């Protein structure tokens, strides 16, 4: 079993050196972007298009974090369901935030088309599977609310008919949303990096940021490859935010998400599992999510444990997910697992993504597992703001509050995990 992301075997291995070369690291830039994932590369692309000199600094390689580790699901909507949005924000604000999620997918598609990125993107639609009968009842309420308030149409498929969409009896009906899609996340992040470079951005990999310091209205960015002077800084580290940016660290909770990938299935097996090749997830708090790859492997992921991702837990998480796969798709119980990996997603306290400015530094983060389109979109929006555009947007929030009694170590995650496991048992 390969303990690294399956997606890495679908792209050429990075050619850039991970060893910093101080001689060639620029000593100044209009903007330093910290992090070469979707957020940072999208911001760098937009800033370079605006004529700024841009340096992207990445501790590892391009897309090393969640941008190459995710399941490749481009999901309509947000982490919070429509009713929660309305209850929390009121009807007008709920419409604005829901529209922002739709705009993020449209923006993603525009970038892919404009930059000719070959990343296997398709509008496959998604399935949300009801873990319990009462969850399907909730889908009926959600369907009506989405149509009435957001003009967003979804379809329901009863348990008796769900095998037209998914080859299992483990669930109690489905909600189908045609506006979601699938993507090869590693090919996409590589293509986005190439686009940023073509536009004029410089990307320095193998270079860690150690401290960020404001001096006379400018930034001193201390790195493992030397110091860089910059007019502005964009923090694009999401689930890998560290000590160099403590203000953002106090607002983001890194949570480990894990995925296994089977050996390739036969055409008949794949068609029986997901005949329309939609991406899918279920209605548990400790949810499962799954999809077929281009070569017909089943990727099966989830929050196998509620913790920040440590490398030592990958095998343990893989065993948990294998049992989950066998429960949902018992016909695949004997298939070999050829890949297992994990990585961090970042949650905010209210499970809403954010972009804005904290202590002088710009940021975009907190995608709560819905990051492919939203990170691309908010990275672009925050770059436009850095470039001087007056951006008004429901997800741009300079008053983004820190989590009380939290300094970046999520000591409370095991307690939350116990709570959600109990909710899955009884809810």
Give the position of tokens 């972009």: 355
Query: How many beta carbons lie within 10 A of that of residue 114, not counting itself?
Result: 10
Structure tokens at 27: 């000593």
Pairwise CA distance, residues 265 & 365, whole Å: 36
Reported residue count of the chain is 427
Pairwise CA distance, residues 227 & 230, whole Å: 10
Q: Are 279 and 183 in contact (CB under 8 A)?
A: no
185-199 helix and 38-49 helix, angle to the nearest 10 degrees: 20
One DSSP character per residue, 102-169 reads HHHHHHHHHHHHHTT--S--B---EEEE-SSHHHHHHHHHHHHHHHHHH----EEE-GGGGGGT-S-S
Q: How many helices (H) and strands (E) does the chain have?
A: 10, 18
Could you read off the pLDDT tens digit of each residue along the chain, which spans 427 residues? 999 999 999 998 765 544 455 556 899 999 999 999 999 999 999 999 999 999 999 999 999 999 999 999 999 999 999 999 999 999 999 999 999 999 999 999 999 999 999 999 999 999 999 999 999 999 999 999 999 999 999 999 999 999 999 999 999 999 999 999 999 999 999 999 999 999 999 999 999 999 999 988 899 999 999 999 999 999 999 999 999 999 999 999 998 899 999 999 999 999 999 999 999 999 998 899 999 999 999 999 997 555 555 555 888 889 999 999 999 999 999 999 999 999 999 999 999 999 999 999 999 999 998 999 999 999 999 999 999 999 999 999 999 999 998 988 877 776 766 656 676 676 6
Q: Are 255 and 345 in contact (CB under 8 A)?
A: yes
Q: Are 56 and 33 in contact (CB under 8 A)?
A: yes
Residue 252 has a pLDDT of 95
- Report which of 252, 337, 315, 327 is spatially closest to residue 286, judged by C-alpha positions: 327
CB environment 372-404: b (16+ within 10 A), e (fewer): bbbbbbbbbbbbbbbbeeeeebbbbbeebebbe
Pairwise CA distance, residues 364 & 239, whole Å: 11
- Report which of 171, 151, 153 is spatially closest to residue 161, judged by C-alpha positions: 171
Quick one: residue 388, left, alpha or beta (phi over 0 = left, psi -120 to 50 = alpha)?
Answer: left
Q: Are 125 and 177 in contact (CB under 8 A)?
A: yes
Structure tokens at 164: 């037209």
Residue 306 has a pLDDT of 55
CA–chain centroid gap for 402, Å, is 21
């Amino acid at each position: 079993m390969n303990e690294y992301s399956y997606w890495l075997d679908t792209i050429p291995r990075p050619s850039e050196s991970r060893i910093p070369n101080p001689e060639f690291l620029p000593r100044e830039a209009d903007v330093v972007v910290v992090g070469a994932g979707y957020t940072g590369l999208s911001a760098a692309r937009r800033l370079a298009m605006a004529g700024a000199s841009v340096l992207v600094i990445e501790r590892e390689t391009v897309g090393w974090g969640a941008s190459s580790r995710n399941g490749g699901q481009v999901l309509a909507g947000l982490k919070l369901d429509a009713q929660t949005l309305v209850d929390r924000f009121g009807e007008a604000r709920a419409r604005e935030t829901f529209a922002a999620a739709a705009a993020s997918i449209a923006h993603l598609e525009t970038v892919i088309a404009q930059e000719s990125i070959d990343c296997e993107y398709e509008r496959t639609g998604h399935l949300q599977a009801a873990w319990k009968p009462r969850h399907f009842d909730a889908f009926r309420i959600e369907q009506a609310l989405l149509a009435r308030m957001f003009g967003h149409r979804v379809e329901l498929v009863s348990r008796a008919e769900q095998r037209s969409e998914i080859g299992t009896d483990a669930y109690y009906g489905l909600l189908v949303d045609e506006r979601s899609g699938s993507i090869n996340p590693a090919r996409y992040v590589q293509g986005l990096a190439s686009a940023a470079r073509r536009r004029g951005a410089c990307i320095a990999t193998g270079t860690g940021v150690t401290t960020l310091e404001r001096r006379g209205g400018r930034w001193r960015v201390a790195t493992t490859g030397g110091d860089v002077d910059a007019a502005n800084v964009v923090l694009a580290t999401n689930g890998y935010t560290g000590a160099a940016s403590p203000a953002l660290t106090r607002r983001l909770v890194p949570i480990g998400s894990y995925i296994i990938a089977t050996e390739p299935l036969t055409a008949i097996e794949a068609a029986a599992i997901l005949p329309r090749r939609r991406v899918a997830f279920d209605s548990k708090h400790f949810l499962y999510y799954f999809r077929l790859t281009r070569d017909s492997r089943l990727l099966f992921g989830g929050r196998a444990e509620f913790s920040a991702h440590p490398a030592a837990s990958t095998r343990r998480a893989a065993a948990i997910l294998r049992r989950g796969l066998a429960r949902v798709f018992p016909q695949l119980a004997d298939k070999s697992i050829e890949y297992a990996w994990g990585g961090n997603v970042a949650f905010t306290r209210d499970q809403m993504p954010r972009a804005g400015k904290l202590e002088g530094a710009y940021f975009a983060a907190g995608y709560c597992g819905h990051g492919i389109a939203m990170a691309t979109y908010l990275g672009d929006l925050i770059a436009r703001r850095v470039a001087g555009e007056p951006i008004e947007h429901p997800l741009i929030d300079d008053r983004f509050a820190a989590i009380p009694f939290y300094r970046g170590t999520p000591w409370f995650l095991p307690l939350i995990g116990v709570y959600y496991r109990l909710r899955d048992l009884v809810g």
